[in-house]
Amino acid sequence: MPHPASSAPAPSPNPDTLSESRWLGRWFTAARRQGLLSLLPPEAWHTLSALLSFTSRDGTRRFTVDYLALALGQRREGALQRLHGLTDLQWQGQPLARLEYDPEGEITGVSLAPLEVLVRIDPAEGDHEPTATRKAASDPTTLVLQADLETAGLRPEQVEWVLGHFPPDRIRRQLDWLPARQARNPAALLLRAIESDWGAPREAA
């Protein structure tokens, strides 16, 4: 005879939990599509995740370096090196992280680039992108752009997203200007340049 508990209906998911899970899924999907995922090395992702864990209800992120070091499993010197490494990275045309200090010069927190903008891309919208891309696949211009984007280092899903969201002339401009930008990570920079429609670099102006 089955245990009484085995016949009990499974508890309904908490609506708040579903909402949070969907938001988190959208955030990471957008991070992948917009190039943030490819921009950051694993160590930087580890550090960024730790910083995000300090987010309070008012959006501030307060911590001590010692507390961050404990969260990262690093020595204090290692945590400081990680923090300064994030400040050297650029996202959406601005530093990914800006450190905040008290009057004595001690680090007390961090302000991050507006990562929340990533949620404007809903993963559900992506269900239609491959179809749209396939419809245009026979167009010679699209085929050339696709090949050039792949040569620049974009993954197939990134190529599909770019071709499905931006006009060919914008994509071509940024591809032509990419060598002059001398990027350390050409694929990530190209994604940001196309999305924001950056102007010509000085060398190409």
Asked if CATH classification 3.40.50.10800 holds for the domain at 20-118, the reply, yes or no, is no
pLDDT digits (tens, 9 = 90+) for 46-95: 999 899 888 887 778 899 999 999 999 999 999 999 999 988 888 777 88
CA torsion through residues 104, 107, 109, 112, sign: positive
Per-residue pLDDT of 139-182, as tens digits, reads 778 888 988 999 999 888 888 888 888 899 999 999 999 999 98
Residue ranges covered by each domain of the chain: 20-118, 122-196
pTM as predicted: 0.50
Tokens of 126: 């992506």
